[in-house]
Amino acid sequence: MLTRLTVAETIKGLQEKQFSSLELTNAYLERIEALDKDINAYITVTAEKARKQAAASDKRRIEGNALSAFDGVPVGIKDIICTKGVRTTAASKMLENFVPPYSATCWNKLENAGCVLLGKLNMDEFAMGSSTENSAFFTTKNPFDLACVPGGSSGGSAAAVAADMAPFSLGTDTGGSVRQPASFCGTVGLKPTYGRVSRFGVIPYASSLDQVGIFAKSIEDCALILSYISGKDEMDSTSVPVEVPDYSVLLDNGVKGMKIGLPKEYFGEGIAKAISDMIKAQAQKLAEAGAEIVEVSLPHTGYALPAYYIMATAEASANLARYDGVRYGLRVERDNLADMFKATRSQGFGAEVKRRIMLGTYALSSGYYEAYYNKTLQVRTLVKKDFDDCFAAGIDCLLTPTAPTTAFRLDEKSNDPLAMYMSDICTVTVNMAGLPALVVPCGELGGLPVGAQLIGAPFAEEKLFRSGRVLENERLIPQFRNREGR
């Protein structure tokens, strides 16, 4: 079945003319039509555009003018990443009819390589959530159990790849929004080093934490894709001019001689014992492949989650101030400017976005700035120092759980924001420190996937791929079930 192929297999098939891009694209569009009414991964399906792009790709290949190895490969894009001429909503009523006049750099690079856009993927509104239940349009379901969440905020991106409705997808990760859904949906998920991939054209949530990430079916796919979308971008001052290697040629260098750290703070209270045991079993696999396993400590981990939610909401409060009904997006007409602002923001934002704007505004307000926001910056420095000390001591990468549990049930945490925020306990430190992290499926518990998280030093994605390659198992295949999970 064409939609079961990895990106690497798809590239090989296109190059060897086993199938055309149009045949491949039609296979994905047919699968989306058949399955997405139950899963709800896509906000917008760009069927007409995809078929035109695929036909153009086939013509180029016949003429010997393929743009790249990726020419003709389909992709799904999280709906927070701008796509010129294609509606980009951030899953919000505020931007329900927004059609950007430009593309994000990450999509622009893929489009210039000949990739085919299948559509835009569902998410928590403005990337604020851990379950994709905060979308203004509908909730995405987990392909392994339709009664469970796919994770968030990039839940649509994870579900589409898990359900073979896209060979790979792009998401964004501000505090775990690629890695936690990857774990919940049984895909590979990569959050690159901050600055490795341009953020230009990505609708911002928290600018110092946001990073474009990848969902794929294999480590090899992730490595191939990262090489294409990485690099310095003059349109993004935070992108870094660090050389981008061909990651795919380094995959099989193994872990012999590498030192893998197990941070004790990630295996304690709040993490399900069965998940801790599964991750420790992955450490044994790395040891058998020649790595040295060392217990390490990241002593400021316990302060990271509350600090993250102050920092992220403060940046969100500033970033979302632009949605005022004046320049673009929703405008609710009223008799005067003040009432128009109030009505537009009241109707345009959902409950979770309003909650985070208010939290962030409070943290930045006069009299509280020093006590709250400035303290989070100090915690961030300490969290980063913990990681720096580990890597300086010779640790090549760290192995941890990705989430404290498997995917939880729909509505289980939607009325308890604090319980929902705790879903990010294993992931937020990576964003605070600007590090790369990779999630690799390592098995199932009760029919739901579990992912192991590998954390690396800045720009050390190569070591993550090598370690992940050792852990990579046969792909987990979801069983589609009805809404009750029977």
- From the candidates 57, 78, 135, 423, give the one annotated as an active-site residue: 78
| Interatomic CA distance for residues 466 and 458, integer angstroms | 16
For the record, the structure tokens of 349 come out as 């934002």
| Interatomic CA distance for residues 426 and 175, integer angstroms | 9
Distance of CA 381 to CAs 378, 408, 476, Å? Answer: 5, 32, 38
Do 107 and 77 touch, CB atoms closer than 8 A?
yes
| Interatomic CA distance for residues 101 and 118, integer angstroms | 19
Three-class SS state of 222: helix
- Residue showing tokens 């998940």: 275
Cis bond upstream, residue 153 (ω within 30): yes
Is 84 one of the catalytic residues?
no
For the record, the structure tokens of 294 come out as 């060392």
- From the candidates 20, 21, 57, 177, give the one annotated as an active-site residue: 177
**Exposure class string for 283-310: b at 16+ Cβ within 10 A, else e:** bebbeebebbeeebebebbebbbebbbb
How does DSSP classify residue 89?
Answer: -
- From the candidates 20, 21, 57, 153, give the one annotated as an active-site residue: 153
Find all residues with CB under 8 Å of 410, minimum gap 6, and list them: 131, 133, 139, 141, 147, 148, 149
Find all residues with CB under 8 Å of 357, minimum gap 6, and list them: 313, 316, 317, 320, 349
Element (H, E) at 293: strand 292-296
Q: Which residues pair with 453 in a beta bridge?
A: 400, 439
Number of helices (H) and strands (E) in the chain: give both, helices first. Answer: 15, 11
Is 183 one of the catalytic residues?
no
| CA 450 from centroid of its chain's CA atoms | 16
Phi, psi at 446, each rounded to 5°: 60, 30
- Residue showing tokens 């079961």: 4
Task: Output the DSSP codes for 114-175.
Answer: T-EEEEEE--SGGG--SSS---SS----BTTBTTB---SSSHHHHHHHHTTS-S-EEEE-SS
Do 432 and 307 touch, CB atoms closer than 8 A?
yes
Is 153 one of the catalytic residues?
yes
Q: Annotated catalytic sites, by residue?
A: 78, 153, 177
